[in-house]
Chains A and B, each alone.
Chain A
Amino acid sequence: MVSEKDVTYVADLAHLDLTADERDRMLRDLNSILGYIERLNQLDTANVEPMAQVASRYSKARDGDGLGYAMRADELRPSLPHDEAMRNAPQTDGTFFKVPKVIER
């Protein structure tokens, strides 16, 4: 069971404040969803490999040569020009993104 304290802790990790109403609702919804998820424990997975990606399971598994998933060469190439990257910035000095003060003097 998720407790009110868990909701506060997880909201903090996720950088969310949440209103009091939202916290109540979150507590109820998370417990309902996690209750449903409990059914995964009916399965014995002691000897099962985790699958993180379609590519990681199938790139080696079939026919020796897999399904054609491959990384590109690690080479330098042009990236988004600076001015275009900055165009959507909520606050900028023209060179950098500006944010509220992080360190108090």
Chain B
Amino acid sequence: MSGLETMTVESARTAVLEKQVTANTLVDEFYKKIEAEDPAIGAYLTLCKERAQQQAKRVDRLADKGDPLPPLAGVPVAIKDVLTTKGVRTTAGSKILDNFIAPYDATAVARLEAAGAIVLGKTNCDEFAMGSSNENSGFHPVKNPRNLSRVPGGSSGGSAAVVAAGTAVASLGSDTGGSIRQPGAFCGVVGLKPTYGRVSRYGLIAFASSLDHVGPLGKTVNDVALLLQHMAGRDPMDSTSADLPVPDFAAHIGEPISGLRIGIPREYFGAGLDPEVRAAVESGVQELARAGCEILDISLPHTGYAIPTYYIIATAEASSNLARFDGVRYGLRDRDAKTLAEMYRKTRDAGFGTEVKRRIMLGTYALSAGYYDAYYLKAQKVRSLLASDFDEAFAKVDAIVTPTTPTPAFKLGEKADDPLAMYLADIYTVTANLVGVPGITVPCGKSKEGLPIGLQILAKHFDEVTVLKTAHVVEHALNITFD
């Protein structure tokens, strides 16, 4: 079956609805493609064929009876392995959860399936979503389908890669500091981090709870809007999920955006920004001006403090969240330890990779007696200053446009030995996590080497509609395609 590479959420559903293909055949075709092409990329950790085939049968039965099909009927998706899937291995990219079979579904996954989507499998990622290149996976790195010598970005590298390779129509990722948007930009796909609280975190294996978000990746802005639609909304299982009406996101796509005020923060266009990335983002801004947007120079003065703030808060929360991996209730256990304390240490030493240990150490240090005020409390205060920057900016503009990343995808191994250099790959994305505002990456160009470049759009809390319709204008005007 041809055309899997270009299949969208809408075209997949239409194909099933109009009986051009059964959901069952569609799933089989995707598994054939995965088995042929994924070994070179390494984007999948686990395939769940039985579950996918059962769901496909349900969809086909409805179609046979002529019953109305649910909104995502037959759409094959992949799920980042930090989201739990009942009865299916869920590792978070870590050896410590190598054999973990999740006892329940994450809300985001359950809602997509209830809307008819078919889960093909679980995607590779940096261990516990800690990383910006996918090289921190406890299993194997992922390669960028656009250029196999480059990283796909991280931590949702597998989820971005399957969309770019066409081995799933769309996918779910998680974004704690840029982990949907940065790999989205590196792989030339669309990735959306919704507002904090828009999508339930129930079943998302926690890294940093106040910064973690679940969101979609897809080939088009419309695809991520459709996935968001069917995940969003209040969930009593997540006390931080917001009790707000969910708008019809896709219905707003294509609306005129003339008169929209777009802020260009000068701090995001300074030293360290690759000239090719700058030029591509500026071409996107020009298209927004042509569409009638008012382009305004703005300042987010505390931008230079976002990475240090992020690495205190994220690691502090991680050190606490990852305390649960102790070999007692699930996951790996050291069998030779003579005492409980020794069992904890040996299990964690064997199960966690270097970056995870580094972050646990940094977070534990930042929270330890004598350092709490100097590091953790200080970072929480600077987080307020960063939020004030955005509050003041959004009093003047409706959306903010920036590069998603300072450079296109780097080479595998290039930053692997320098944690600080790796952390700076997230310099344009972390602030949206600290503040909680929604953000999207949309392809806006290619480097001379053909590597994808992403443009980021941010808007006010819960204003995903503005993010999506602005991104659609960029997507439609620039029409970036990859071979």
Partners in one complex: yes
Interface residues of A (CB under 8 A from B): 2, 6-7, 9-11, 13-18, 22, 25-26, 29-30, 32-34, 36-41, 43, 45, 48-55, 57-58, 67-72, 80, 84-85, 87-91, 97, 99-102
A15 to B349, CA, bound (A): 9
Q: Which B residues are in CB contact (< 8 Å) with A102?
A: 339-340
Interface size on B, residues (CB 8 A): 73
A52 to B312, CA, bound (A): 12
Q: Which B residues are in CB contact (< 8 Å) with A49?
A: 381, 384
Can you name 24 A-B residue pairings with CB atoms under 8 Å?
A: A10-B364, A10-B365, A15-B348, A18-B349, A33-B362, A37-B308, A37-B375, A45-B378, A50-B377, A53-B210, A54-B436, A54-B461, A68-B197, A68-B462, A69-B242, A71-B239, A80-B104, A88-B100, A88-B101, A90-B332, A97-B328, A100-B339, A101-B338, A101-B339
Interface centre among A26, A49, A54 (most CB of B within 10 A): A54
Structural contact, B343 and A16, CB atoms closer than 8 A: no
Structural contact, A100 and B343, CB atoms closer than 8 A: yes
Looking at chain B's contact residues, is the secondary structure mostly helix, strand, loop, or mixed? helix
Structural contact, A58 and B330, CB atoms closer than 8 A: no
Q: Which A residues are in CB contact (< 8 Å) with B99?
A: 88
Q: Which B residues are in CB contact (< 8 Å) with A2?
A: 365
Given A39-B308, A68-B242, verify A54-B196 contact (CB < 8 Å).
Answer: yes
Given A45-B382, A51-B387, A54-B435, verify A6-B239 contact (CB < 8 Å).
Answer: no
A84 to B326, CA, bound (A): 19
Structural contact, B364 and A14, CB atoms closer than 8 A: yes
Interface centre among B302, B323, B365, B436 (most CB of A within 10 A): B365
Structural contact, A52 and B210, CB atoms closer than 8 A: yes
Structural contact, A87 and B360, CB atoms closer than 8 A: no
A29 to B422, CA, bound (A): 12
Structural contact, A17 and B349, CB atoms closer than 8 A: yes
Structural contact, B197 and A15, CB atoms closer than 8 A: no
Q: Which residue of A lies closest to B369 (CB)?
A: A13
Structural contact, A51 and B380, CB atoms closer than 8 A: yes
